[in-house]
Amino acid sequence: MTMIADNLQRVRARMEQACRACGRDPASVTLLAVSKTFGADAVRQAHAAGQTAFGENYIQEAVDKIRALAGHPARAELVWHCIGPVQSNKTRLVAEHFDWMHTVDRLKVAQRLSDQRPAHL
C-alpha cells in the first residue's frame, strides 16, 4: 500500500467514526482531497485508492494536472473542485476545466463563469 493509500484509509476511518458518533450515514459524506502542490502521479495513486473528488485553488497548476490526466483511463470518474476565490482573468480556465466552483465572491466572477462555461458542460 502506498503512503497516499494508507493516509486515505486512515482519514476515511476517522470520518466514518465521526459520522457514526453523531448518527450520520458515512455514505452521505464525501472526502474532498486537496491535491494542490502534488503532481498528477499523486492523483493517480489517490484514485487507485478510491479517491475521486479533488480540490484545487492554484488554478494553472490544477489545469496542468487535469490536462496531464486527460488520457487516464478513469478520467471520467475524477471530479475537480475549485476551492478558492478566483480572479476574473482565471474564470475561463475554471469554467472550461473544473466540475465545481465553491467560492464565488463577486457577481462579475459568477457572470464570467456562466458565460465562459462550454455548452457541453
Amino acid at 43: V
| Closest to 11 in 3D by CA, of 25, 28, 32 | 32
Query: Could you give the C-alpha distances from 13 to 8, 53, 70, in angstroms and in order?
Result: 9, 17, 30
Task: Grade residue 118 by pLDDT with cuts at 50, 70 and 90.
Answer: very high
Q: Which helix (H) or strand (E) holds 4?
A: helix 3-21
pLDDT reported for residue 99: 96
Cα separation, 107 vs 104, in Å, equals 8
Residue with cell 475524477: 78
Q: What are the tens digits of pLDDT across the range 89-114?
A: 999 999 999 999 999 999 999 999 99
Residue with cell 478513469: 74
The verdict on pTM exceeding 0.75 is yes
